Amino acid sequence: MSGLGGLNKSAHGVVVGLVQLQLPVVKTAADLAAQTRRICELVAKARRNQSTMDLVVFPEYALHGLSMDTSPEIMCSLDGPEVAAFRQACVDNRIWGCFSIMEANPEGNPYNSGLVIDDHGAIRLYYRKMHPWVPVEPWEPGNLGIPVCDGPNGSKLALIICHDGMLPEMAREAAYKGAEIIIRTAGYTAPIRHAWSVTNQANAFCNLAYTASVCMCGSDGTFDSMGEAMFCNFDGTVLVEGGGRPDEIVTAELRPDLVREARIGWGVENNIYQLYHRGYVAVKGGAQDCPYTYMRDMAAGRYRLPWGEQVKVTDGSGFGFAAPVRSYKGPEVHPLVPQAPLTPDSSS
């Protein structure tokens, strides 16, 4: 049940709009400015479209397109004009927003970053993509972990980006930190359609969480993104699905209170709890060891696949990127950019 896409909002509901944004071509600073204006226009459309909407979500690559261009003139920063425009759009339209930027990195390749901004213009969540889609994407791997923030109407939000959602550990970490709604933004094209669907459902079911996922949409003359916004219930069923129409805003009402109820009250298939309380019918409190070799090995810095030495693709050289020479730096604590208060007329 999604309250007819949020038209009938309940007292505990959070209405989310997923924007199947038309895939842009962005090559210059002028293109970047024009696309920033377009996204802000669609924030306003979301508010006009549905007065009950709490949060509007834009896909990965909404601002930059799928070119993988790392030119400095089209990279962004938290205190740059693009983020300032998004913050103002949220204030002007009294709505939360989730946005995508390619973030300049003075020490190496740019980060693929996501922001959740509240209806007062404050950045509430700042995330750098942990798992760039190798070997195709050039982005620096994220070093901020998976943040969770308080969202509208008492909800808890997390953001993962595109390929992140193919690794079950990502959604599990988000839920472990309290997320009730896991947002997944993407730029995927049609070959990923089936994997997109099954992972969105599995991430929801395995973690007793809602998943709200959306891709770019339409063609840029080279790539064809698929749209296919999807809301999944915490039992893994699909609540609402979009298609392939560019700029359509697909909506649903989500009920975080029901997630909380299930996490507390379910016995059968309360998997995120039972992971650490194995077999509690037989032994008091259940087994609370770490029986998974890959977890122990990763923590100890000795993760090795039995076939690891035979893996053929281990960098992006096959896709035209130079083999990297820098080592990974992180994790780090990165404070948000200082945020001056915004008002509805502060841009005038």
Q: How far apart are CA 97 and CA 36, in angstroms?
A: 13
Indicate whether 145 pLDDT > 80.
yes
On whether both 205 and 229 belong to a single domain, the answer is yes
* Residue in 9, 40, 60, 103 annotated catalytic: 60
| pLDDT tens, residue by residue, 32-48 | 999 999 999 999 999 99
Q: How far apart are CA 104 and CA 97, in angstroms?
A: 21
On whether both 286 and 166 belong to a single domain, the answer is no
- pLDDT score recorded for residue 338: 57
| pLDDT tens, residue by residue, 325-337 | 989 987 766 656 5
Q: How far apart are CA 113 and CA 42, in angstroms?
A: 20
* Beta-sheet pairing, 181-186 with 156-161: parallel
60 is catalytic: yes
Tell me if 328 is assigned to some domain.
no
The last residue of one of the domains, among 268, 296, 318, is 268
Mean pLDDT of the chain: 95
Query: Do 185 and 59 form a contact (C-beta atoms < 8 A)?
Result: yes
On whether both 98 and 145 belong to a single domain, the answer is yes
**What are the angstrom distances between the C-alpha of 306 and each of 294, 299, 303?**
11, 18, 10
The last residue of one of the domains, among 245, 268, 291, is 268
**What are the angstrom distances between the C-alpha of 241 and each of 190, 211, 251, 321?**
15, 12, 9, 36
Q: What percent of the chain has pLDDT over 70?
A: 95
On whether both 148 and 291 belong to a single domain, the answer is no
Tell me if 332 is assigned to some domain.
no
Percent helix, strand and coil across the chain, each to the nearest 5: 30, 20, 50
- pLDDT score recorded for residue 10: 93
Residue 300 is part of which domain span? 276-310
**347 — pLDDT class (breaks 50, 70, 90):** very low
Indicate whether 281 pLDDT > 50.
yes
On whether both 300 and 248 belong to a single domain, the answer is no
On whether both 154 and 18 belong to a single domain, the answer is yes
On whether both 263 and 281 belong to a single domain, the answer is no
Q: How far apart are CA 221 and CA 27, in angstroms?
A: 14
Instruction: Please state the domain count of the chain.
Output: 2
Indicate whether 345 pLDDT > 60.
no
Q: In the predicted model, what is the mean pLDDT of residues 144-160?
A: 97
Q: What percent of the chain has pLDDT over 90?
A: 92
* Residue in 90, 98, 149, 162 annotated catalytic: 162
| pLDDT tens, residue by residue, 120-139 | 999 999 999 999 999 999 99
- pLDDT score recorded for residue 330: 79
On whether both 163 and 23 belong to a single domain, the answer is yes
Question: Which sign does the torsion angle of CA 149, 151, 153, 155 carry?
Answer: negative
| pLDDT tens, residue by residue, 236-265 | 999 999 999 999 999 999 999 999 999 999
| pLDDT tens, residue by residue, 158-211 | 999 999 999 999 999 999 999 999 999 999 999 999 999 999 999 999 999 999
- pLDDT score recorded for residue 337: 59
On whether both 38 and 145 belong to a single domain, the answer is yes
Q: How far apart are CA 96 and CA 262, in angstroms?
A: 26
On whether both 263 and 291 belong to a single domain, the answer is no
On whether both 252 and 306 belong to a single domain, the answer is no
Q: Could you tell me how many residues make up the chain?
A: 348
- pLDDT score recorded for residue 329: 83
**Lowest mean per-residue pLDDT among 92-96, 204-208, 311-315, 326-330:** 326-330
Indicate whether 2 pLDDT > 90.
no
Query: Do 116 and 57 form a contact (C-beta atoms < 8 A)?
Result: no
162 is catalytic: yes
The last residue of one of the domains, among 209, 240, 268, is 268
On whether both 189 and 294 belong to a single domain, the answer is no
What is the separation of C-alpha 276 from the centre of its chain, rounded to a whole number of angstroms?
26
Tell me if 341 is assigned to some domain.
no
- pLDDT score recorded for residue 344: 63
Residues 6+ apart with CB under 8 A from 55: 14, 15, 16, 17, 95, 96, 97, 98, 116, 151, 152, 157
Tell me if 320 is assigned to some domain.
no
269 is catalytic: no
Indicate whether 110 pLDDT > 90.
yes
Q: In the predicted model, what is the mean pLDDT of residues 55-64?
A: 98
